[in-house]
Chain A
Amino acid sequence: MCKEPESDKKIILASLNGHPEDFRIILDRYGSRVFSLCRRMVGKMHDAEDLTQKTFVDAYTKLHTFDLVRPLWPWLSRIAVNNCKDFFKSAKRKEVSSKPYCSSQDGIYPVKWDNPEKNHLVNERKAIMERALMKLPLKYRAVLEMKDIQELSYAEISDVLELPISTLKIRAIRARKKLEHAVEHVIFEMRNRHAQNN
């Protein structure tokens, strides 16, 4: 018999009512999504892991403030984005945008330009987008992450980044233009590498 999965709401209530171990289910459901978000924002796997940990611990300690009527993911993603923002505020942190993370050490999906299979093409396109995204400065990457990937409204992004909506709209235009160039650049790099290998 297939058991219906517990709703987020039930698990949250159980976690609040003396069953913190139930929070593991939330972690299993959203852990990879939060981790992927953090990795896109900060680039390094190690930093992304730390930020993912912080996001879930923060989420747990603020769980009583979560409005159970709303879906969990937008709330979690906001905590993650805010943590990423704080990460970059730290004086010691410098922009890592110029360093692509799709390397053997940090990348999950190494890019294979010559693979003909469709699913690999999807992964390939995804890898291109991720690499291109990482080439952008954080202020543009953050807007794209929230607007085009997480699909938050400008009002919500304004709340997180503490910027006027008009500024964010201009930033979104610039970010999309920069992404366009970055994608072209990544494809150019990959073609060159492919040509050299052959």
Chain B
Amino acid sequence: MHKITEKDELIRRVLDEECSPEDVERHETLLADDLDYRNHFNTIERNKADLKNLATMDSAPLRADSKDKIMERVIESRSRNLREFAEPKSAEENGSGPLATLPLPSSPTDTKKSPYLYAVGLMAACGAGLVLGFLLARYTTETQPPLLKHSVATKSLNANNELKRKNSNSTDNEKQAVDCRELTKVRFVLHAPNAEKVMLVGDFNNWSNKATPMSDNEGNGVWRLTVPLEPGSYRYKFLVDGERWVNDPGADGKINDGFGGFNSLISL
């Protein structure tokens, strides 16, 4: 390994534009008096300039089929993201909404892996319905048949089945749906008269709090944004002035956010 001399270090400082006035003076003296230094500096300077040219020249064009492969992987990664985020994670995280009566799979494949879980859930729901039905039958009149509570349970079950069916369909047909670009324009609106800025944050932008600003074009405190979305379920919130998280009062539903609060939910 060659030892680095004071002159080498000086050349580096000159080329990297880190030199002091003393360096400049010394450099100019050496250029004038020291032939080796001058030759060495000129060569390295020229090489550096030639290297810089490499950056601006696309010396190797990327082939079109390679670009196609990249785009396939990009679309695929987006579909995967949507699948992961569109489904609630676990029974505990679901909280106590009607959609949380039974645990949902954390991924589409879990549905196949855990039929036991769903059988248990189904039996529990039916059992609860029967018990409630029995109790209601004892304490209500014939004009009020004991089906009210049971019907709620059934509705929950249907809601779960519906969501599972939608998720399953979206899994099977995800690529096709993406390819066909079945996008729905969704307008998000928030009334926040004192806000200076409002961001829409959710599954559709990977929870980025910078990517999707809303706008109050009329200056009346009504913040709007229209976002084209693919079919699926999305969690979201509004971030007001970069510090206050606000739920959407007009959301399709709400879902536990795992931090003691809720996220707004929209299903398409």
Contacts and interface: CB of A to CB of B under 8 A. Distances in A.
Interface stretch (A89-97, A110-118, A123-131, A190-198): A123-131
Contacts of A20: 74-75, 78, 178
B211 A13 contact: yes
Nearest to A53: B70
A144 B52 CA distance: 10
B48 interface: yes
Interface string B45-81: 0011011111101111111001101110111011001
B205 A27 contact: no
Contacts of A86: none
A78 interface: no
B183 interface: yes
Contacts of A108: 59-61
Q: Which of A31, A174, A176 has the most CB of B within 10 A?
A: A176
A60 B67 CA distance: 13
B12 interface: yes
B47 A176 contact: yes
B48 A126 contact: no
Q: Which of A40, A57, A65 has the most CB of B within 10 A?
A: A57
A104 interface: no
A119 to B, nearest CB: 11
B85 to A, nearest CB: 12
Given A35-B60, A57-B70, A183-B47, A68 B210 contact: yes
A34 B62 CA distance: 9
A33 B58 contact: yes
B4 A36 contact: no
A176 B44 CA distance: 7
A174 to B, nearest CB: 7
Contact of A57 (B2, B12, B74): B74
19 contacts: A17-B228, A31-B67, A32-B62, A33-B58, A35-B62, A39-B59, A39-B60, A53-B73, A61-B77, A64-B205, A64-B211, A126-B54, A126-B57, A129-B50, A129-B51, A150-B55, A169-B16, A173-B11, A174-B1
Interface of B: 1-2, 4, 8-9, 11-12, 15-16, 40, 43-44, 47-48, 50-55, 57-63, 66-67, 69-71, 73-75, 77-78, 81, 178, 181, 183, 204-208, 210-212, 227-230
Given A36-B60, A173-B4, 8 more contacts: A53-B66, A60-B78, A63-B206, A109-B59, A130-B54, A150-B55, A173-B9, A177-B2
